[in-house]
Amino acid sequence: MRINVTVNGRQYSSDVEPRMLLVHYLRDVLGLTGTHIGCETGVCGACTVLLNGEAVKSCMLFAVQVDGQEITTIEGISQDGQLHPVQQGFWEKHGLQCGYCTPGMILASIQLLKRNPNPTEEEIRHALVGNLCRCTGYQQIVEAVQWAAQKMRGEI
Amino acid sequence: MFPAPFEYYAPKTLQEALSLLAQHGENAKVLAGGQSLVPLMKLRLSTPAVIIDLNGIAELRYIREEGNYVAIGAMARHYDLETSDLLKRLCPILPECASHIGDVQVRNRGTIGGSLAHADPAADYPAAVLACEGEIKVVDTDGKERVIKATDFFVDLFTTALQPNEIITEIRIPAFAPKTGSAYLKMEQLASGYALCGVAAIVSLDDSVIQDVRVGITGVAPKAYRATGVENALKGQAFNPKTIEQASELAADGINPLEDIHADAEYRAHLAKVLTKRALLKAIERAKV
Ligand code: FES
Ligand code: FES
């Protein structure tokens, strides 16, 4: 099936089998390997991308379902060579070790801060329950999001 | 992980979806939010030859007041329910319940119609929809509509009264009576977020007399159920914590609880009693304000 998708602001037109998962489309067809595959069963959140601005798990969608829609992946959030504030937060606060969960964590955090610019620690943890990290123990991820929230509110 | 091959259709109207369903019959599966069906297809536990995707049907995504109930389109997402001011005002247990489902990504995508049709024994909505005495409106491929009471809708494990030639279009939730409080409490299996036990309690008070009380329980039995024993023991009684505690002991009466690696039957029955007590107390506290 022919699909037309906007990914990170760029238009793509591809021929895909209906059963191809969105995450495989992004990685294998478009070569955008920043979106990771952890579990492929909808549990880990490593494959999180934004669909029309909303966080979804790209292993739970078929590529044909995003025909005519907009996707944002980790590759698309920096602007003019400037890291996105959430990326900066993960850098500043050491919000990653191996980095496997990081693209998904960052996109889920962007979703949170869009809906709630001033989240409590509890709200941050609640917003990230769908993203698993095997390394950090989560504490520094929470601090990274708090840092990003302050930055985006112009406080640092 | 690749599902078996299938043909894909993305109708733009309900009418179109129904004609596709008429045309492909039992070979077709209707896809809503896909948060249960897509994993099942990946595991090849489900191998439909045809997928009819409802996500492009804008007319099925709404939440609006209609007379004395709130009408929720089958394709309203969990996030829509969680954040609906109308529901928070008229039937606050639904937003509370929706906020407990899965995680943000699942709530952005999953739909109430899809969840009810799937009838997972550990899903959250069935408890709340039962306690609300909600109704499920469906339409078949001939365009014939019927409205099914929630109590008649859930038949068994993953089984509902929905026929293969029918699609859920709307869920109707009666607005709460005055002086009514509600609460949804859940003990979840941490990795999946599914309920080991979830209890939805709705209580209407008149002074301190319990006028009406409804309790829906999910996660414990093959299908969600109303704890009628608890309800009958409390109706017309003056509120006091001891009465609530005694009545809650009946929460798993006559039920044959599920058993799996996460929780045995005895533990599930225990959770049902404890969470029923807590949910009732919380609902009553909220009914007082
Ligand atoms: S790879 Fe999609 S949730 Fe784990
Ligand atoms: S940094 Fe390694 S999984 Fe999160």
Task: List, in order of start, the domains of chain A with CATH numbers.
Answer: 2-76 (3.10.20.30), 85-152 (1.10.150.120)
Cross-chain Cβ contact A42/B5 below 8 Å? no
Q: Left if phi > 0, otherwise alpha if psi is -120 to 50, otherwise beta: which for A62?
A: beta
A45 contacts in B (CB within 8 Å)? Answer: 103, 105
Cross-chain Cβ contact B7/A129 below 8 Å? no
B104 contacts in A (CB within 8 Å)? Answer: 55, 108, 111-112, 127, 129-130
- B118–A contact, CB cutoff 8 A: no
Nearest chain B alpha carbon to A127: B104
CA of B278 to the centre of ligand 1 (A): 35
Backbone angles phi, psi at A53, to 5 degrees: 90, -5
Q: Checking DSSP bridges between strand B154-156 and strand B195-206, what pairing results, if any?
A: unpaired
- B58–A contact, CB cutoff 8 A: no
Q: Which ligand is located closest to the Cα atom of residue A23?
A: 1
Ligand 2 touching residue A77 (CB < 6 A)? no
Cross-chain Cβ contact A65/B106 below 8 Å? no
- Shortest distance, CA A41 to any CA of chain B (angstroms): 6
Q: Which of residues 182-201 of B touch A (CB under 8 A)?
A: 191-193
Q: Which tens digits make up the pLDDT trace of A61-117?
A: 999 999 999 999 999 999 999 999 999 999 999 999 999 999 999 999 999 999 999
- A28–B contact, CB cutoff 8 A: no
Residue A73's pLDDT is what? 98
Residue B280's pLDDT is what? 98
- Mutation to probe ligand 2, out of A100, A105, A145 (largest number of atoms < 8 A from CB): A100
Q: Which tens digits make up the pLDDT trace of A98-114?
A: 999 999 999 999 999 99
Residue A21 in this model has a pLDDT that exceeds 80 = yes
Nearest-CB residue to A56 (from B2, B53, B105): B105
B267 close to B274: Cβ distance less than 8 angstroms = no
- B67–A contact, CB cutoff 8 A: no
CATH tag, B58-174: 3.30.465.10
Rg of chain A in Å (alpha carbons)? 15
A40 contacts in B (CB within 8 Å)? Answer: 1, 42
Nearest-CB residue to A56 (from B6, B10, B108): B108
Ligand 2 touching residue A90 (CB < 6 A)? no
Ligand 2 touching residue A141 (CB < 6 A)? no
- A129–B contact, CB cutoff 8 A: yes
Q: Which ligand is located closest to the Cα atom of residue A46?
A: 1
Nearest chain A alpha carbon to B102: A130
Ligand 2 touching residue A97 (CB < 6 A)? yes
Q: Give the C-alpha distances (Å, rounded to integers) separating B215 from A29, A117, B51, B63, B202.
A: 50, 37, 36, 24, 6
B114 close to B61: Cβ distance less than 8 angstroms = no
Ligand 2 touching residue A99 (CB < 6 A)? yes
Which two structure tokens, joined as six digits, stand for A124?
A: 């941050």
Which residues, other chains included, contact B137 with Cβ-Cβ below 8 Å and sequence gap of 6+? Answer: B145, B146, B147, B148, B168, B169, B170, B171, B172
pLDDT (tens, 9 = 90+) of chain B, 289 residues, equals: 789 999 999 999 999 999 999 999 999 999 999 999 999 999 999 999 999 999 999 999 999 999 999 999 999 999 999 999 999 999 999 999 999 999 999 999 999 999 999 999 999 999 999 999 999 999 999 999 999 999 999 999 999 999 999 999 999 999 999 999 999 999 999 878 899 999 999 999 998 899 999 999 999 999 999 999 999 999 999 999 999 999 999 999 999 999 999 999 999 999 999 999 999 999 999 998 7
Q: Give the C-alpha distances (Å, rounded to integers) separating B79 from A25, A55, B106, B137, B138.
A: 26, 11, 9, 21, 22
Place of tokens 């760029």: A10
CATH pick for B182-287 out of 3.30.390.50, 3.90.79.10, 3.90.180.10, 3.50.50.60: 3.30.390.50
- CA pair distance B9, B31, nearest whole angstrom: 10
Residue B142's pLDDT is what? 97
CA of B36 to the centre of ligand 1 (A): 13
CATH tag, B7-53: 3.30.43.10
Q: Which tens digits make up the pLDDT trace of A33-55?
A: 999 999 998 999 999 999 999 99
Nearest chain A alpha carbon to B1: A40
Q: Which ligand is located closest to the Cα atom of residue A136?
A: 2
- CA pair distance B65, B68, nearest whole angstrom: 8
User: Best mutation site among B9, B51, B55, B104 for testing chain A: the one with the most A CBs within 10 Å?
Assistant: B104
Q: Which atom of ligand 2 is nearest to the CA of A105?
A: 4
- Domain locations along chain B: 7-53, 58-174, 182-287
This complex has an ipTM of 0.96
The amino acid sitting at B50 is V
Cross-chain Cβ contact A60/B102 below 8 Å? no
Residue A28 in this model has a pLDDT that exceeds 90 = yes
Q: Which tens digits make up the pLDDT trace of A118-145?
A: 999 999 999 999 999 999 999 999 999 9
